[in-house]
Amino acid sequence: MEFIFKQLLDYCPAYEVLAHNIPIRQEKHTIGEIDFILKKIDDQQLLHIELTYKFYVVTIEVSDPIHQLIGPNKRDSFFSKMKKIKDNQFPLLHTKAGTASLKKIGIDPSIVSHQACFKAQLFLPFNCKSIDLYPFDPNCIVGYWLRPNDFRPETYDRYEFYLPFKSQWVVEPNDNVQWLSFNKILPEINLCLIKQNAPLIWMKKNNNTFEKFFIVWW
């Protein structure tokens, strides 16, 4: 995603990319990396941008939307990621090592402002008709999630399925893959669940429309 973001910035007249993927080293160890340093063309302001692209399932066990977004394997969350960016990534510029790295390329970290560009695909609970996700963008909702007991043949055996590689998660489902029947995809799904890895599934319906969803193991 950083490559795509960089290409978009290169063609955007409002910004100039001063640096990207800047490693911060302390002695012989890399302690972090700065995603982007930009300059706004109109006022010459310098911006530090941390870019994040995540996949979250929406849980309704808690009422606050900030805490409802969790990783499909429950290993991360929106709240913890934002806290890490705020507490670790943003201050990295102002450490001794960060300051030295930026000054080597002619950037004064004391005049740099911080922003996070947080992109995500969100998956609602199975059969959830609507949910208030404010302050999040509802356009980020791309599918749903369900548990293994909900993935039943009486509901799904009429459709075809594909288990995308993680590098394919960001793209929309399409016909340029090898689709499998319910019975053929089920062993692959079960293997993922045994390993406590929630698979993302593409589904092709009979009218040649597509859906995507996670099957969680927890």
What pLDDT, on the 0 to 100 scale, is given for residue 28? 84
Same domain, 13 and 97: yes
Same domain, 83 and 15: yes
- pTM, 2 dp: 0.92
Q: How far is Cα 189 from Cα 152, in angstroms, rounded to an integer?
A: 13
Specify the number of domains making up the chain. Answer: 2
Same domain, 108 and 151: no
The residue among 78, 86, 80, 35 whose CA lies nearest residue 55 is: 78
Same domain, 16 and 59: yes
What pLDDT, on the 0 to 100 scale, is given for residue 138? 93
Same domain, 99 and 189: no
Q: Residue 62: which domain range?
A: 2-120
Same domain, 112 and 159: no
Same domain, 109 and 167: no
- Omega prior to 135 cis, within 30 of 0: yes
> How much of the chain exceeds pLDDT 90, in percent?
93
How many CB atoms neighbour CB 98 within 10 A?
Answer: 21
Q: List the alpha helices (DSSP H) in 115-199.
A: 153-156, 182-194
What pLDDT, on the 0 to 100 scale, is given for residue 46? 98
Residue 141 included in any domain: no
Q: Is residue 48 exposed (0-12), middle (13-18) or buried (19+ Cβ within 10 Å)?
A: buried
One pLDDT digit (tens) per residue for the chain, 218 residues: 899 999 999 999 999 999 999 999 998 899 999 999 999 999 999 999 999 999 999 999 888 999 999 999 999 999 999 999 999 999 999 999 999 999 999 999 999 999 999 999 999 999 987 788 999 999 999 999 999 999 999 999 999 999 999 999 999 999 999 999 999 999 999 999 999 999 999 999 988 899 999 999 99
Same domain, 101 and 12: yes
